[in-house]
Amino acid sequence: TGLRVLRSHYRLSLSTSDTQHSVFTALQPSCLDNCSGLGVLERRAGFRVGRGTSLRPVNDARSLSTFTDSQMADQVRQLKIKTGSVKRLQKELILYEKEHDKEVAKVEKMKAENAEPHDLKHAENVLSEAAMMLPDCRQRLETALADLVSFVEEIGDSLKEEECEELKTAKEVILSAEAVFA
């Protein structure tokens, strides 16, 4: 009575009809755990069991388009995640490069001023740590960028740039990230 159970690709409404319960048991016994009866069984492959005992094709466009809408939503979500990852890594790389440049200037200034050897050694250690972050961040950005480019090529047919703002943003991010490596 109005309760819906989703298991595998089957959607059912429970009722008190024992005859419907036996029809469903013959089709999908594993879904009847704790069920007292069946009202409607719908399978995404295109068949529905109703109050009778026969299978009939599903003509409901809404139930068939839900799967494609769900797929498209999943693709858009993945696109957002991959685009955000490239954006974040690009910002990280820029910040690490700025930090490295700042530390280089600091070490050179300390050398020019004949700073204490201990302070100079500490500044050089900080510089070496900043320098170690650059190759790792650059490699992570390259990997994320390659992943985003291949994903955009893969979904380019299913999503249109005019309809999907995320796709347009992803292409802009790809261009700006490729400029970092140029």
SS3 label, residue 34: coil
Give the pLDDT confidence score for residue 63 in this predicted structure.
44
Confidence of residue 28 (pLDDT cuts 50, 70, 90): very low
CA distance linking residue 95 with residue 100, whole number of Å:
9
Q: Which two tokens stand for residue 136?
A: 């790792």
Residue 125 reports pLDDT greater than 60: yes
What per-residue confidence (pLDDT) applies to 135?
A: 96
| Final residue in a domain of this structure, among 38, 59, 80 | 59
- 39-91 per-position pLDDT tens digit: 444 444 444 445 554 444 444 444 444 446 788 888 999 999 999 999 999 99
- Give the residue from 13, 33, 59 where a domain finishes: 59
Q: What's the pLDDT score for residue 156? A: 78
pTM of the model: 0.59
Per residue in 11-21, pLDDT (tens digit) is: 444 444 444 44
Residue 141 pLDDT class (50, 70, 90 cuts)? very high
* Whether residue 123 sits in one domain with residue 81: yes
Residue 122 belongs to domain with CATH number:
1.20.58.90
Q: Quick one: 44 and 75 in the same domain?
A: no
Residue 100 banded pLDDT, cuts 50, 70, 90: very high
Percent of the chain surpassing pLDDT 90: 48
Whether 5 and 14 have beta carbons less than 8 Å apart is answered as: yes
Residue 48 sits in the same domain as residue 99:
no
Q: Which domain holds residue 47?
A: 4-59
| DSSP codes of every residue in 103-141 | HHHHHHHHHHTT--HHHHHHHHHHHHHHHHHHHHHHHHH
pLDDT tens-digit profile of 111-124? 999 889 999 999 99
